Amino acid sequence: MSLILSSLRAIFKPYASVPHPTITFSRARSQLAPRRVRYRKSHKGRIPIPTGGSTKGTTLAFGDYGLRVRGEGMRLTAKQLQAAEVVIKRKLKIIKTSQIWMRVFPDLPVCVKGNETRMGKGKGSFEYWACRVPTGRVVFEIGGGIREEIARDALRLAATKLPVLTEFISRSAGPKLGAIDLPPVTPKPITGASYKIVRKPLQPISVIDQEALKVPAETNANSIMCLYLRCMRRGSSGVISYKRNSIKSNPLEFSSGAISREVEARNRRPSRLPISQRVD
């Protein structure tokens, strides 16, 4: 009987939840795809619109000439980007010092359902990789001692492989905020005396009379703490430094005029005497 129970426990073993591991894809060396992703499928999403005023990715960062999206944003596939890159490399092959940079990368998995398939039954299977490219984003950059005529021709051929409207830009082109062209940002040169950092002289700390720093000997710990909190609430920058063994002799010392201001405020207050002893 025990043998039967042990075999049944082995068959109907409870399922233990295991965290989702990172999915690794096998890809060719020339294939434009990420090496690993966290999730095999993702949402469709929308093309981002720079509503916050950011101009990141709209200017050249590495090369001398570039190809920038001029029309509406679109989702570019890995095959389209790879075809445009091959055209640029073929055109610039004669220039040994030429370089090319791709400013976008297809890391978004796109899933497609088969034709004549009924709705429902889950998301479709993986089809290709893509990336969302908004308007004003630089897609390709080239540099390395290339003449402008050759760069224009190479990027013109690459633009024919992309399904978006593009424009040729150089280092003199300014950033873009969506479809709005902004003036180029030119930093002011630092020359002469403006390069030196002007430091303000430190203000000397005013020395207060030592008699004003002393508190009467009959002051207890509670009144000292109340006085400290009252000065802190008034925005005083004073620092308390005292010794527990010498509270009666010199219970409180401030490094600024906090205590003197408190003494003056006490002198201006009316005395708390009984009504019978007050003098109008």
The pLDDT assigned to 50 comes to: 80
Same domain, 58 and 172: yes
Q: Regarding predicted confidence, which is higher, 259 or 152?
A: 152
pLDDT at residue 240, rounded to an integer: 42
Residues 263 and 177 in one domain: no
pLDDT at 214: 54
Asked if residue 176 and residue 224 are part of one domain, the reply reads no
Mean pLDDT of the chain: 76
User: Which residue range forms the structural domain that includes residue 69?
Assistant: 20-181
**Domain match, 177 and 214 both:** no
> What per-residue confidence (pLDDT) applies to 244?
41
pLDDT in tens, 196-207: 566 666 655 454
Q: Which of 181, 198, 218 is where one domain is finished?
A: 181
Same-domain pairing of 168 and 129: yes
Q: Is residue 118 part of a domain?
A: yes
Residue at a domain's end among 160, 181, 202 = 181
* Residue 195 lies inside a defined structural domain of this protein: no
pLDDT confidence bin for 184, thresholds 50/70/90: confident
Please count the structural domains in the chain: 2
The more confidently predicted of residues 70 and 178 is: 70
Q: Judge if 166 and 82 occupy the same domain.
A: yes
pLDDT digits (tens, 9 = 90+) for 119-166: 999 999 999 999 999 999 999 999 999 999 999 999 999 999 999 999
In the predicted structure, residue 271 carries a pLDDT above the cut 60: no
Q: Kindly state whether residues 86 and 39 are assigned to the same domain.
A: yes
Q: Are residues 33 and 167 in the same domain?
A: yes
The residue-averaged pLDDT of 43-47 equals: 92
Same domain, 127 and 231: no
Query: What per-residue confidence (pLDDT) applies to 88?
Result: 96
Q: In what order do the strands lie in the sheet with 166-170?
A: 99-102, 138-143, 65-69, 166-170
Quick one: tokens of 82?
């790879």
CB 37 within 8 A of CB 109: yes
**pLDDT > 90 in the chain, percent:** 43
Q: Note whether residue 15 is domain-resident.
A: no
Residues 217 and 156 in one domain: no
pLDDT at 6 over 70: no
Q: For 213-258, how does the pLDDT look when each residue is reduced to its tens digit (9 = 90+)?
A: 455 555 555 565 565 555 555 444 444 444 444 434 444 444 445 5
Half-sphere exposure (CA, 13 Å, Cβ side) for 158? Answer: 31
80, pLDDT greater than 60: yes
Provide the residue type at 153 as one letter: D
**Residue 61 token pair:** 């960062």
